[in-house]
Amino acid sequence: MTTPAELALTCTELSPPELAHLQRLLGAWSVLADLSFSDLVLVVPTTPVPGEEPELVVIGQIRPSNRPTILEQDLVGQTVRQAAWALSTAALQRGAVVRGAVHHPLIGESVPVENIPVGFGGKVIAVLVRVYARPAEVPLSAYGKRYLDVFERLVKMIVASEFPFRDEDVGTEETPRVGDGFVLVDAAGRVEFASPNAINAFHRMGVYSTPEGRSFTELGIEESAVQWALAARRPVVEEVERRPDVIVLVQCIPLLDDGTSTGAVILLRDVTDVRRLDRLLLSKDAAIREVHHRVKNNLQTISSLLSLQARRLSSEDGRDALYEAERRVRSIAVVHEILSRDPGDQVPFGEIVQSLVRMAEDSVMSPRPVTISVEGDLGEVTADVATPLAVVLAEVLQNAVEHAFGQDAPEPGHVWVQLVNDREGVSVDVRDDGCGLEEGFDIERTTSLGLSIVRDLVVSQLGGSIEMGPAASGGTEVLIRLPAKSD
């Protein structure tokens, strides 16, 4: 999908590094909107068209999270004549901040604007337009003044192409915002100011002393992130774990003046609850895995019990029945074995097929070798389809090795399994070159247990169809089809 911003960029002359710089700015600029209590709009000049008036295109817009917006409309993707946005155009051409006022059509009066040229590689590549409420409306509390002060320092960095930082990762949803907790430190890492929410975060971290004038270490908080950000002149994001249970996300943004760190902005966000949820989710996954593992173990126990009991029986029919039951249980265990490694509702069916083929090959009783080859794959199959389908395939394979190859034929027998999963749905084709079915055989009418199970699972449980008849290659062919899921 193309966003309006991406579309807008196609009509500009930005080089890939310039574009990356602006993308980093868009990833990091929430701090600018919050510190300035302003709506921000990012504009770039469009590719000049001879004979046409030069234009600017809006590639980004952000609202402050600590004050109502005054730009209710979405401007991203819009173009405006450079002559109409004269202040922005002046900032673009002069490479200096241009302040003034523009008429706001919705408010019906003029609003102050500040046009900040975005420097990069010795050029001005864009203009950051700050649209703010009249000074009287700006909250001028103690921290309000601090915020604006820091904003001005960041503005200088933007003009000098020091902000956004060169190799900063584009901000994630996760990074804290100013409103979460804001701390300003000096070049030595000593706290100059901490916002009320930052004080709350400190309290949750068990720090109750007044932070002003102290370094993080003196407060008893791990300081390496702050020191590293100041020394490397690069932003750092770190999670600080305090007292069991409290996790605070710390983002340090160094403030630079002509390449030297003069201090840093530190944003704090208590992510304890978010992390606790993450951990719960993780352990839920582990729990599901454990359950499948236990189900598999229990099924294996049942199958061993059945075979133990079978060995004690003197009646051959009884013994066979128990062995069959044992095998069926094992084919279900195969699915749980795979789910215990990789829980989720999708199971790689290829692995199940491999196990089932091995099981069928192991049960070949006759001296005549049987080779089973598999072609194609079903890919990932939902667990509620995988279990019945595994039982079905096990039955059909078992029938082939059990009934298709009489003892007298000297050459080896072949079984071919062909798997297809496409838009039409799933198809499983099992073919052998054995003796073929008895005269008058009809799958719809058999009452024997194996095929009754197969029919019931395919038709009732999986909503599919089954055909069984002579194969073109001689022998028998079983074709199972499941419709594609309609969701």
Ligand X SMILES: Nc1ncnc2c1ncn2[C@@H]1O[C@H](COP(=O)(O)OP(=O)(O)OP(=O)(O)O)[C@@H](O)[C@H]1O
List interacting residues with ligand X (CB under 6 A): 324, 395, 399-400, 402-404, 432, 434-435, 437-438, 446, 448-451, 476
Which one of Mg ion, ligand X, none is in contact with 238 (Cβ closer than 5 to 8 A by kind)?
Answer: none
- Binding residues for Mg ion, rule: CB under 5 A, are 399, 450
Taking the least distance from each CB to ligand X, the nearer of 9 and 480 is 480
Task: Find the helix packing angle between 316-341 and 272-312, rounded to 10°.
Answer: 160
DSSP state of 180: G
Provide DSSP, 122-157: TEEEEEEEEE---GGGS--SHHHHHHHHHHHHHHHH
Which one of Mg ion, ligand X, none is in contact with 156 (Cβ closer than 5 to 8 A by kind)?
Answer: none
- State the minimum distance, in angstroms, from the CB of residue 289 to Mg ion: 33
CA distance 43 to 9: 10
Taking the least distance from each CB to ligand X, the nearer of 1 and 365 is 365
- State the minimum distance, in angstroms, from the CB of residue 427 to Mg ion: 21
Give the C-alpha distances (Å, rounded to integers) separating 412 from 283, 364, 409, 470: 50, 12, 8, 19
DSSP state of 136: G
Which one of ligand X, Mg ion, none is in contact with 446 (Cβ closer than 5 to 8 A by kind)?
Answer: ligand X
CA distance 131 to 87: 12
Taking the least distance from each CB to ligand X, the nearer of 251 and 476 is 476
Taking the least distance from each CB to ligand X, the nearer of 181 and 413 is 413
Taking the least distance from each CB to Mg ion, the nearer of 56 and 417 is 417
Taking the least distance from each CB to ligand X, the nearer of 346 and 363 is 363
- State the minimum distance, in angstroms, from the CB of residue 429 to Mg ion: 18
- State the minimum distance, in angstroms, from the CB of residue 470 to ligand X: 10
- State the minimum distance, in angstroms, from the CB of residue 395 to Mg ion: 6
Strand partners, 238: 250
- 164 preceded by a cis bond (ω within 30 of 0): yes
List alpha helices for 210-344, DSSP H.
216-219, 224-232, 272-312, 316-341
- State the minimum distance, in angstroms, from the CB of residue 323 to ligand X: 9
Asked if 446 contacts 454 with a C-beta cutoff of 8 angstroms, the reply is no
Residue 284: both structure tokens together: 């839920």
Residue whose C-beta lies closest to Mg ion:
450
The length of the chain in residues reads: 487
- Sign, CA dihedral 478-354-295-331, equals positive
Taking the least distance from each CB to ligand X, the nearer of 64 and 434 is 434
Taking the least distance from each CB to Mg ion, the nearer of 24 and 328 is 328
CA distance 480 to 376: 15
- State the minimum distance, in angstroms, from the CB of residue 445 to Mg ion: 16
Residue whose C-beta lies closest to ligand X:
450
Asked if 432 contacts 388 with a C-beta cutoff of 8 angstroms, the reply is no
- Count Cβ atoms within 10 A of the Cβ of residue 207 and give its class: 0-12 exposed, 13-18 middle, 19 or more buried: middle
**Residues ≥6 apart with Cβ < 8 Å to 255:** 150, 153, 154, 157, 261, 262, 263, 264, 265
Taking the least distance from each CB to Mg ion, the nearer of 333 and 451 is 451
DSSP state of 73: S
With CA atoms as reference, report the closest residue to 381 among 283, 467, 464. 464
Which one of ligand X, Mg ion, none is in contact with 324 (Cβ closer than 5 to 8 A by kind)?
Answer: ligand X
- State the minimum distance, in angstroms, from the CB of residue 449 to Mg ion: 7
Taking the least distance from each CB to ligand X, the nearer of 308 and 449 is 449
- DSSP H or E segment with residue 392: helix 383-399
Which one of Mg ion, ligand X, none is in contact with 449 (Cβ closer than 5 to 8 A by kind)?
Answer: ligand X
CA distance 292 to 337: 7
Residue 235 backbone phi and psi in degrees, to 5: -70, 150
- State the minimum distance, in angstroms, from the CB of residue 476 to ligand X: 4
CA distance 116 to 261: 21
- State the minimum distance, in angstroms, from the CB of residue 453 to Mg ion: 9
